[in-house]
Structure 1
Amino acid sequence: MHMFFFGTVKEWERHALFFLGKFYRMVEPGLYFYIPFVTRVLYRIDLRIITYTVPMQVGLTKDNIPVEVDAILFYQVMDPKACVLNVDNYHKATQLSARSSIRDMVGKSNLDELLAERDKIGKRLKEHIDGFVSKWGVTVISVEIKDVIVAKELEDAIAREAAAEREKRARVILADAEQLAADAIIAASKKYADNPIALQLRSMNMLYEICLEGKSSVVFIPTDKSMGAMPAFMGITSLEELMKKRLQEDSNEFEETDNED
């Protein structure tokens, strides 16, 4: 009389069936029967994508900055037989491989790369880990870098470096703008030199624009002798000196008239 046991395999599982200690077959989803004592199911393999949160990995970057990096690893069993026969614990082996690869990648990357090129580093990590786990029947779906934490005492220095870089770019842009403005002014001056009427119209327009502001403390005196028909201007102090000079001239003229009488 033969005695059979039965079992069921879920859609996302595979059962590794062993006969007298030797691998017999990988059981597909559904109902199956086996002889107890001589046949045993030793492993149940989950074929779904496994999500593993990698703990914080501490390391030094290529430019000698201490950082802490954590990531998320997505992996999946593609060959159930290989993951049973080729490695003791494929979950532990894959996760330890991910930790080691992240520390290795930190040492080969600059801090700027870790902060700005996470996608590229994630792809390199995927390829690197795949080199280890593929022989175990496991494939890496993706590696996502969650966070890169820099030592607190270095954050201010990094912030100052970024501010200095922005200041440098701003000054370069300002210098370029000054050069463009100077070139435009030189080109305009050549046109005004050949056309005095245009220069006079421009001077009148400048006077009109300043008058619209209503806040100017400068007195403009239109003239066609100074500054090439541009309106001459002077401040309140200069105007006071001009009035004193005018009064002095009137006084001298009055004294000369008295002397003649």
Structure 2
Amino acid sequence: MAPSQSSKSNSSNTLNRALRLMRMLCEAPTPLSLTKIAKTLEVDAGNLHRLLQSLQDDGWVSRVYDGAEYTVGPLLMNNFDPWHPVHNFRRESYPFLKQLHEQTRETSALILFLGTQRVVMDAIHGQLTLSSYYDVQLSSPVHGSASGKILLASLPAGIVDEVLGGEPLPKYTEFTPTTRDDLDRHLIEIRETRYCISREEAFNGIVAYGAPIQYRGRVLGCLVSTAASADIATRDDASFATKLRDVANLLSASVPSIHQMKFFLTG
């Protein structure tokens, strides 16, 4: 049966609202509340909430984890104007990413945290090509990857519970932490050392090192280096991770647009 004229009209209206909403989020320098969006677009808040949830599920929109505000999702990150804080931050961070790559010769990535999502902003490939692992929105196990565990270590306990769900946690290799007690020990260590080591926890044969990018106590993302685990001895893990942390700390203290990024990511 062919769609009715009313059905076509409703679909067209929904698409139009979605496009206007995404354009509005791309132009906003900070996250926007549901009330603000509904008032600006002149739409019902209940219908808007359902639309936002659908767009969030598909990666077009992200919700700030500690509030009822929304910003762009991973799939919209490249649609800002050239002078948006995101593009400024990427440009200003590149020398530090390049420095890390030159020091390690391994694949290095700049990752931002959009709510509870991890978004690759830039990457330089090294000795081990990892294109298949570096989609715009990272899908590597959050409890078994360097970027994922740094994200979890920065979140309130209640949000961590929502992200992880129940136990046992999915097992990807023999080294993946599958209980909250094991994972919590990892997260405590990350907060104390300000770096993360994930040796074959997400993928066999791969080791990843990460260090948080922070501004005024708020973790905004991380730097990550990934290598073949056979190329770096376990005894060298702490030394490698410390080197990464030093670059991440320098980036956090030196990039001018990090102040704007804090407000863009967290409101």
**Shorter-chain-normalised TM-score: which range?**
under 0.3
The structure with the largest strand share of the pair is 1
- Specify the structure having the higher radius of gyration (Cα): 1
TM-score between the two structures when normalised by the length of structure 1: 0.21
TM-score, normalised relative to structure 2? 0.21
